[in-house]
Structure 1
Amino acid sequence: MSLTEKPEETPERLAFYDKIDKEAFTPLWAVMSSIITPEPKSACQPHIWRFENARAHLLEAGGLITAKEAERRVLILENPGLRGTSKITTSLYAGLQLVMPGEVAPAHRHSQSALRFVLDGSGAHTAVNGERTEMQYGDFVITPPWAWHDHGNTTDEPMIWLDGLDIPIVTHFDASFAEGMDADEQPITRQTGDSLARFGANMLPVDYRQEKLASPIFNYSYARSREALEKMKAQQEWDPCHGLKMRYVNPVDGGYAMPTIAPFLQLLPKGFKTAAYRSTDATVHVPVEGRGRTSIAGETFEWGPRDIFVVPSWHHVSHEADEEAVLFSYSDRVAQEKLGLFRQDRGNN
């Protein structure tokens, strides 16, 4: 009998199952094929969300409910195969957040790690543990676990960004805590740019000791990251499966920037088509520049800047760029690597 072959359900066996069910027992042999699978099996589906549609819905929501009433005015990107669960993959959450001119999304903190990836507007701010940073298009901003954070918009234009959180992971471990602050905005105790100066110049304070797992830098500016990609592309060293793909890191230890979420930035030159690739980390992608298409298990999705699409675990994926393109992405790869679960298939590359 193979690992996934279910034993025959005879009348005698069904009667036995019914009897032990009353005492909260279940026979492993009756369910093994559904809980131990030869390859990843998930209800998560490939899907794409068009930013222009999402922006229109968000602006409509902006006229229906305030940021303070909602606490966070967000539209969840819910995977079609996981409806009702607030998940974009089985382990990750995604949502699009709107802060209108003059608004404040009030201060709170929670066990979950969060990232912000700025998609529309310029000049709004977020504050994390006493330091405020201005947000620009393409910036990758971190809110570490249990860090006070609030958002404000003093510009005259709406501000929209993608929120990525590890809510399903924290929920799985029954480890969720959250609390609000008495004030809408936290006290600012550090100069803007302080964390970047302390930790982002290939130096550390002399007696610094790492106490938390997230990066002490919480705004990775797109301008700086894009400049790095531009320098590296001149070397013409293209990975067949990824083009030029980099991961955001914690400068303290060189590990991923976040403890449970792995963020990446990737450049594809015009006309480049990546080789088929698959991995166990279901991944959320956001084109920042350029246009192209992505094939996911044989299904093709055309994309442009600020669209959002998801690749489920262990689905073959290939990207093709019609013009030079940059993709931001995030997955749970860092958590899988720490648990010894991560696996990838690069074909013959």
Structure 2
Amino acid sequence: MSDQDRTPGRNAVSPVTLTAEDAPGQPPVTPGLLDLYRGFEKALLVPLWTRIGGLMPEHPRSKAQPHRWEWRTLLDLAGRSGELVPVGRGGERRAIALANPGLGGRPYATPTLWAAIQYLMPGEDAPEHRHTQNAFRFVVEGEGVWTVVERDPVPMRRGDFLPQAGMHWHAHHNATDAPMAWIDGLDIPFQYDIEAQFFDFGRDELSGEERTTPERSRSERLWGHPGLVPVSHVERARPGRGTPLLRYRWEDTDAALTDQLELEREGHPGTVEPGHALVRYADPATAEDVLPTIRAQFHRVRAGAETAPRRETGSSVYQVFDGSGRVTVGGVSWSVQRGDLFVVPSWAPLSMRSEASPSDSDSGALDLFQFSDAPVLTKLNLFRTHVEENA
């Protein structure tokens, strides 16, 4: 049998189905047109005039839906998993992914972004592995876990952002007598759909040196000094490889946000809009995004302030770090509080109103961590934003 004989057009039902429609912009429905469409189906062809509205809409129409996950529910289920599900080869991580209700049950927060709560029990180790997927960890509460990246132990504490570019060996160990949870973000859906991913198993156990609990990692000692880069390593830090700094401390993020709002109060430029401070995590060697496919930012919205509705191409996941407020994504609104996560699909307008107070926020404001696929769209010249006027 020839290769041609094996095609669906010869021996199987074609996956292409075409329907002739008596509609504006469509050709008249005639026996000849019907016969032409059957020919297209057998030859595995699809004419543009039958699909242009779906393939080339006027603006992005995301399959993802706006959705919120409550932190207390996630934490409860992760804790129950800690009692029932071991960590080791096979599952690799006790990570529980957010599944967007518009994406058919796949473990995707958005079409390009994966987000999960990871949970490590006292004394547990998560074994070493590496993968092409770019990743990060963000800690909304707790401490006691060290992530070990290329044999460099890195502390994880509340408010810390820990990026990790693809193909770096990494493991985790909990050095305390209490469990700890954090969120993971990766570009798994993007790499899976473009069929570019690789994964390698590493060692099952960490060495004694890697199980230490230093206050600062070696990467921080080299790269964690604002405005200063180590000349001995700067040649190794090339654009597109990801940040060499493995931990962005909460103390530094908090200070930057505080200073922006104080400058605003003094009448100087500093915020992106009234009451809205925003910082972006950057590669200290290149000033580019920390990861090739993921942008990470942190927002602080002063109590009583509301952000103007903003649309962006590409998708984002937000986690409330502190405070409370009201978030509107498209036509959906939620009350949010510490730890809650929510999704903003492509081109859906987002606005946030801070209802925070000293009773529910250390800063007295609504603090939110955000990650998105903006670097991918920027490289392809597809990133676009639009800010609406506040009513």
Instruction: Establish whether residue 233 from structure 1 lines up as the match of residue 261 from structure 2.
Output: yes
Shift of 1:335: 1.2
Matches within 5 A, 1:314-333: 314-323=347-356, 324-333=365-374
Any idea what SS the aligned residue of 1:234 has? helix
Matches within 5 A, 1:107-118: 107-118=128-139
The Cα offsets for residues 324-349 of structure 1, whole Å up to 9 and x where unpaired, read as: 11110000111111110000111258
Aligned to 2:77: 57
Deviation >3 Å, runs of 4+: 186-192
Structure 1 distance, partners of 2:207, 2:291, is 23
Percent identity of equivalent pairs: 32
> Structure 2: any 5+ residue segments left out of the alignment?
1-22, 265-269, 357-364
Does the C-alpha gap of structure 1 residues 188 and 299 become closer, same or farther in structure 2, counting only changes over 3 Å? Answer: same
The number of residues matched between the two structures is: 346
Aligned amino acid, residue 85 of structure 2: I
Instruction: Establish whether residue 215 from structure 1 lines up as the match of residue 248 from structure 2.
Output: no
Shift of 1:188: 5.2
Instruction: Establish whether residue 17 from structure 1 lines up as the match of residue 42 from structure 2.
Output: no
Instruction: Establish whether residue 198 from structure 1 lines up as the match of residue 219 from structure 2.
Output: no
TM-score (norm 1): 0.93
The Cα offsets for residues 255-305 of structure 1, whole Å up to 9 and x where unpaired, read as: 111110000011111100111111112111111111001111132111001
Structure 1 distance, partners of 2:24, 2:385, is 26
Query: What is the alpha-carbon root mean square deviation over aligned residues?
Result: 2.1
Any idea what SS the aligned residue of 2:296 has? strand
Any idea what SS the aligned residue of 1:150 has? strand
Q: Which moved more, 1:240-249 or 1:69-78?
A: 240-249
Structure 1 distance, partners of 2:118, 2:275, is 29
* Of 266, 281, 294, the match for 1:248: 281
TM-score (norm 2): 0.84
* Of 163, 178, 184, the match for 1:142: 163
Does the C-alpha gap of structure 1 residues 308 and 244 become closer, same or farther in structure 2, counting only changes over 3 Å? Answer: same
Aligned amino acid, residue 34 of structure 1: G
Q: Which has the larger radius of gyration?
A: 2
Instruction: Establish whether residue 160 from structure 1 lines up as the match of residue 201 from structure 2.
Output: no
Any idea what SS the aligned residue of 2:375 has? helix
Structure 1 distance, partners of 2:101, 2:251, is 34
Aligned to 1:71: 92
Contact 1:241 1:346 in 2 (8 A): no
Aligned to 2:121: 100
Instruction: Establish whether residue 122 from structure 1 lines up as the match of residue 163 from structure 2.
Output: no
Structure 2 distance, partners of 1:83, 1:49, is 17
Aligned to 2:319: 286
Contact 2:261 2:276 in 1 (8 A): no
Aligned to 1:48: 68
> Structure 1: any 5+ residue segments left out of the alignment?
none
Does the C-alpha gap of structure 1 residues 14 and 245 become closer, same or farther in structure 2, counting only changes over 3 Å? Answer: farther
Contact 2:275 2:305 in 1 (8 A): no
Any idea what SS the aligned residue of 1:228 has? helix
Aligned amino acid, residue 263 of structure 1: A
Aligned to 1:7: 26
Shift of 1:29: 1.7
Instruction: Establish whether residue 300 from structure 1 lines up as the match of residue 300 from structure 2.
Output: no
